[in-house]
Amino acid sequence: MPNYKGHLVGGLIAYLVSLYIVAAFNTWPTIFTGVEWLFFCLAGSLFPDVDIKSKGQNYFYWFMTLLLGYFFFLKRYTMMAMIGVVAVIPQLVRHRGIFHRIWFITLLPLGLAMVLCSYMPNCQDIFYLDAFFFITGAISHLWLDLGFKRMLRG
């Protein structure tokens, strides 16, 4: 079981493999897009440990705090309440529970991309590619933690 640095290295390797796959089907991305995808892949590589005291959890709660401030500024109190509920979920589950399940790691970003696409349909490619890189980063985490056989079993 690697620490967060090991998971970041795994996320970087997953990023390079995923970048090669995407570039084979598409044109080579711009620098900005490449950095965006790297960010999502590295975020995915830390995300499964959001249910324990970890760097991933620290980044998750910083991000939730920024979102709360943003929606407070916009006076979107319903969104703030939903973010509050989402922020509590990692504290209610056991470690290596739902956040270490491949179906959850796949469906969560894809579902979020679908919701965002309903609000901004012109950005569909962006949201799904960001979700793809997040998923590959998260799968690299599972692979490093559980190994290939155990990852597919749960």
Chain segment 81-116, per-residue pLDDT in tens: 988 888 888 888 888 788 889 999 999 999 989 988
Q: Are 153 and 9 in contact (CB under 8 A)?
A: no
The answer to whether residue 19 sits within a structural domain is: yes
Over range 31-41, report the average pLDDT: 95
The answer to whether residue 88 sits within a structural domain is: no
Integer Cα distance of 92 and 94 in angstroms = 7
38: closest CA among 140, 152, 122, 148?
A: 140
- The encoded tokens of residue 114 equal 């679908």
The answer to whether residue 82 sits within a structural domain is: no
The answer to whether residue 83 sits within a structural domain is: no
Residue 2: count other Cβ atoms within 10 Å of its Cβ.
Answer: 12
Integer Cα distance of 30 and 76 in angstroms = 34
The answer to whether residue 63 sits within a structural domain is: no
Per-residue confidence band for 68, with pLDDT thresholds at 50, 70 and 90: very high
Per-residue confidence band for 7, with pLDDT thresholds at 50, 70 and 90: very high
The answer to whether residue 81 sits within a structural domain is: no
**What's the domain range around 33?**
4-52+94-153
Q: How many domains, the chain?
A: 1
Amino acid at 74: L
Q: Are 117 and 94 in contact (CB under 8 A)?
A: no
Average per-residue pLDDT in the chain? 88
Integer Cα distance of 85 and 82 in angstroms = 5
Integer Cα distance of 96 and 88 in angstroms = 17
pTM (two decimals): 0.84
The answer to whether residue 103 sits within a structural domain is: yes
- The encoded tokens of residue 56 equal 């991933």
- pLDDT at 60 (0 to 100): 86
The answer to whether residue 75 sits within a structural domain is: no
